[in-house]
Amino acid sequence: RAAGGRLIIGGVELAITGETKPCANMDRQWQGLTAALTPDWRGGLTARVLRGGEVCVGDGVRWGA
């Protein structure tokens, strides 16, 4: 779904390389989280950093081309 997209947070730009699936690591943090996230996927993303920098609370987030 998201692979190939760009995510821009403040001055940081990420190239989305894939999606992750909810897994047991999530349940170690919060029991039942995997089951809660699985129906609609919502596991997370993997990305490559295109432009690094600092991400701060309040930074804008947008999808790039």
> What is the percent of the chain where pLDDT is above 70?
94
Which band of pLDDT confidence, cut at 50, 70 and 90, is reported for residue 1? low
**pLDDT tens digits, one per residue of 21-42:** 777 777 888 888 878 877 776 6
Smallest CA-to-CA distance from 29 within 39, 19, 17, 37 is with 37
In a domain, 60, yes or no: yes
Sequence-separated contacts (24+) of 3-6 with Cβ below 8 Å: 5/63, 5/64, 6/50, 6/63, 6/64, 6/65
In a domain, 10, yes or no: yes
- 19 is in which domain, residue-wise? 6-64
In a domain, 48, yes or no: yes
Structurally, the chain folds into a number of domains equal to: 1
In a domain, 33, yes or no: yes
Tokens of 34: 């995997």
In a domain, 1, yes or no: no
pLDDT of residue 28: 86
In a domain, 30, yes or no: yes
Q: Is 32 left (phi over 0), alpha (psi -120 to 50) or beta?
A: left
In a domain, 20, yes or no: yes
| 26 SS3 class | helix
